[in-house]
Amino acid sequence: MKSPVYLDYQATTPVDPRVLDTMLPFFRENFGNAASRSHSFGWKAEEAVEQARADIAALIGADAKEIVFTSGSTEGINLALKGVAEMYAEKGKHIITSQAEHKAVLDTCKHLEKQGYEVTYLKPDKEARHSAEQVAAALRPDTILVALMWVNNEVGSVNPIREIGKLCHERGVLFFTDATQAVGKVPVDVQADGVDLLCLSSHKIYGPKGVGALYVRRRNPRVRLVAQIDGGGHERGMRSGTLNVPGIVGLGKACAIAREELASEAARCIELRERLHKRITSALDHVHLNGSAVHRLPGNLNLSFAFVEGESLLMGLKDIAVSSGSACTSASLEPSHVLRSMDVGDDLAHSSIRFGIGRFTTEEDVDYAADQVIGAVRRLREMSPLYEMVKDGVDLSTVNWQGGH
């Protein structure tokens, strides 16, 4: 077992060795520019790019012509939201999204608000999910776009995408989903699921960083976008710039592997996740699961350890790489906006840890992590005035706290 144990697969994933092997020739002998039409260097690069485009499309049930290469999901989100907003401004200026979205969506929406668009930020339920009924209630005649993520990156909740997609199509509103955490992990079929625009990112699915794709529907309806990066007119004018051929080849291979292994990998991740969860909860009391027990990303476990603060817990977990929804890990003193939007309670939000399990996680890793967590939580609870009060029968909600910050 390697130490520290990597359990942060929602932050990023290692490149699969099969992906790296596929990429290497495109740094060496096949270094051509995919836009070069006059020689074999260019043709080889173009052929590889088109193979990747087909592999990506196949994974999500799209047509290869509907794939636009990007530098990752942040760019895909910007292109989808700003591109649609600009293109359809005459039809309306209202967008619906969620408080639990990734910052890339929230900040892009903030930008659009400054440009005169109106954005409704739906509040998720306690499991960080949205229903189609909730979306329906927020639709207006001037709504042009619904933007809701497929899988939440912090708590792993899976939205009922098919129902939301069906609603949007019935009502003639475009539907964009940030599927960064979903593609390759849960079944995605843009036709059956009624998705019009979807972004994905290579580094979350065992491909290299700095490359991704945006799916843009071409039929029923044909979605049009205003390009956000102008130049040589690459990617049918939607995204100019010389293509990152090795990165795209890697993303394509990553998608081909994911398509083959999705089902078996999901089953394995769920097994490891449940093993980790059981081990921890059989040794510790007052452990809360954040997100849904049922509608959940296979490789995500997000737990709050009551009466223990997240950053101090991370300090005690030196040999495992996880992340915390606690305030102190970021420069701000606010706990995660996702946990807040779910009404987890700031005290529990401060004590949350996200465990991300993936392709290279072993049983041994999970058992080691569980032992580390149990030891650290026990030690910190011995030191916690809150745990002592609760053990003495004090109801913390009735305490009049002094001098909070």
Ligand X SMILES: Cc1ncc(COP(=O)(O)O)c(C=O)c1O
Q: Taking CB under 6 A as the rule, does residue 73 contact ligand X?
A: yes
Q: Taking CB under 6 A as the rule, does residue 290 contact ligand X?
A: no
**Residue 401 C-beta: closest distance to ligand X, Å:** 34
Q: Taking CB under 8 A as the rule, does residue 329 contact another protein?
A: yes
Q: Which residue is nearest to ligand X (CB)?
A: 72
Contacts with another protein in 205-244 (CB under 8 A)?
Answer: none
Question: Given the complex with ligand X, which of 73 and 351 has the nearer CB atom?
Answer: 73
Q: Taking CB under 8 A as the rule, does residue 325 contact another protein?
A: no
Q: Taking CB under 6 A as the rule, does residue 149 contact ligand X?
A: yes
**Residue 380 C-beta: closest distance to another protein, Å:** 8
Q: Taking CB under 8 A as the rule, does residue 264 contact another protein?
A: no
Q: Taking CB under 6 A as the rule, does residue 212 contact ligand X?
A: yes
Identify the residue among 309, 342, 353, 370 touching another protein (CB under 8 A).
Answer: 309
Contact, 321 vs 8, CB < 8 A?
Answer: yes
Q: Which of 8, 400, 52, 34 is nearest to 253 (CA)?
A: 52
Q: What Å distances lie between residue 323 and 35, 106, 153, 358, CA to CA?
A: 41, 21, 11, 15
Q: Which of 171, 173, 179 is nearest to 62 (CA)?
A: 179
CA-to-CA distance for 242 and 234, rounded, in angstroms?
7
Q: Which positions ≥6 away from 101 have C-beta within 8 Å?
A: 147, 148, 149, 178
Q: What Å distances lie between residue 348 and 353, 388, 393, CA to CA?
A: 10, 17, 19
Q: Taking CB under 6 A as the rule, does residue 159 contact ligand X?
A: no
**Residue 94 C-beta: closest distance to ligand X, Å:** 22
- What does 251-270 look like in DSSP terms, one character per residue? HHHHHHHHHHHHHHHHHHHH
CB burial readout 76-85, b (16+ within 10 A) else e: bbbbbbbbbb
What are the DSSP E strand ranges found in 292-396? 300-305, 320-321, 323-324, 352-356
Q: Tell me: cis bond preceding 221? Omega within 30 of 0 counts.
A: yes
CA-to-CA distance for 200 and 391, rounded, in angstroms?
47
**Residue 323 C-beta: closest distance to another protein, Å:** 13
Question: Given the complex with another protein, which of 141 and 403 has the nearer CB atom?
Answer: 403
CA-to-CA distance for 394 and 401, rounded, in angstroms?
13
Q: Taking CB under 8 A as the rule, does residue 142 contact another protein?
A: no
Q: Taking CB under 8 A as the rule, does residue 388 contact another protein?
A: yes
Report residue 355: phi and psi, to 5°.
-105, 120
**Residue 179 C-beta: closest distance to ligand X, Å:** 8
Q: Taking CB under 8 A as the rule, does residue 304 contact another protein?
A: no
**Residue 54 C-beta: closest distance to another protein, Å:** 44
Choose the one of ligand X, another protein, none that binds residue 405, judging by a C-beta under 5 to 8 angstroms depending on kind. Answer: another protein
Whether residue 328 lies in the annotated active site: yes
Where along the sequence are the contacts to ligand X (CB under 6 A)? 72-74, 102, 104, 149, 153, 178, 180-181, 201, 212
Where along the sequence are the contacts to another protein (CB under 8 A)? 307-309, 311-312, 315-316, 326-329, 331, 333, 335, 345-347, 350, 382-388, 396, 401-405
Active site residues: 328
